[in-house]
Amino acid sequence: MCAGKTFDLILVDVEGDGRVPQAEKLCEEVKHRHPEQKIAFVCNYRVSKESSCPDEIIHSDFNPEAMVQGVKELLD
């Protein structure tokens, strides 16, 4: 899906323990093709501490308004 184009931001939902390696692999593949691509992980706090791959990690209790605000801040 990301092979031919870039996006303003790619959000990767890292759901569940042990999924960080899969998310990191996706992040690495996208960054290899498009080094300038911004990527953020949406995940729980414990999972966010396991990875240094995304450009930003949005820390908040999940609610749609907080997520949108975090994305806006990331893109500014």
Strands 39-42 and 56-57, sheet pairing: parallel
Domain residues of the chain, as ranges? Answer: 10-75
73 vs 33 pLDDT, higher one? 33
Q: pLDDT tens, 5-59?
A: 888 888 888 876 677 788 888 889 999 999 989 888 777 655 556 666 566 666 6
Q: Taken in order 38, 39, 44, 46, is the CA torsion positive or negative?
A: negative
Q: What is the structure's pLDDT at 60?
A: 59
Instruction: Tell me how crowded residue 74 is: count the other CB atoms within 10 A of its CB.
Output: 17
Residue 42 exposure: Cα atoms within 13 Å on the Cβ side: 15
C-alpha distances out from residue 76 to 33, 38, 59, 73, Å:
23, 12, 17, 5
